[in-house]
Amino acid sequence: MIKWLVYFIIIISSGSCGRKNQVKERELILEYAENLIVDVKGRKILCIENLQVKNGKEWASYKGNQKKIIKLINTECGKCYTSLEEWKLFIESDKDFFDHELGLFFIVLGPMNNYFEYVVSNFDYPFTILFDEEGNFLECNKFIENTLETFLLDENNTITMKGSPLNNKGVYEVYKILLEKL
């Protein structure tokens, strides 16, 4: 794992010279990404259709050839509330990344509380917020270890990458490459 991280840092920090180097750089970045998701590669995210929409579109409206990012948050996590605003700013600042073919969904875990209800009701977010009212999402997706994880899904809801592109340049670059391929 350390070997891949070193390769990845060298690639990102050094500029590329010409098309051949760019292709090699992309191949190494994707190889690095493969090592990051070995524990969840090829896994499908299940039970999303049963989640309650708190803001935005129904999950069903994104079927077809829609690429998706899902971000798990918890109602008992203070940082999760600020991450809603951080993602909103990220979307506004990088319109190319968030084109019309990429859906962003926050899946809210934990018991509903008044503060969360207030935030979702009073702030206009450019993404869908789904609430796991019955607590079944993690039960259906037992392989998820980090309940604050972010996943990139293909059109079949299969995980193609994990990690957040929000504050991680390396993960951001991997997402960009994968989004071009999906």
Quote the CATH superfamily of domain 52-166.
Glutaredoxin (3.40.30.10)
pLDDT value for 16: 47
pTM above 0.85, yes or no: no
Most confident of 9-13, 24-28, 107-111, 132-136: 107-111
Which neighbouring-strand residues pair with 109? 74
Better-predicted residue by pLDDT, 165 or 30: 165
Q: Which amino acid is at 114?
A: N
Query: For the chain, which residues make up each domain, given as ranges?
Result: 2-36, 52-166
pLDDT value for 6: 47
pLDDT in tens, 33-85: 777 787 888 899 999 888 888 887 666 566 556 889 999 999 888 888 899 99
pLDDT value for 150: 95
Rounded to an integer, what distance in angstroms lies between the CA atom of residue 112 and that of residue 99?
Answer: 31
Evaluate whether 45 touches 62 at the Cβ level (below 8 Å).
no
Q: What is the CA radius of gyration of the chain?
A: 17
pLDDT in tens, 127-173: 999 999 888 999 999 989 888 899 999 988 999 999 999 988 888 98
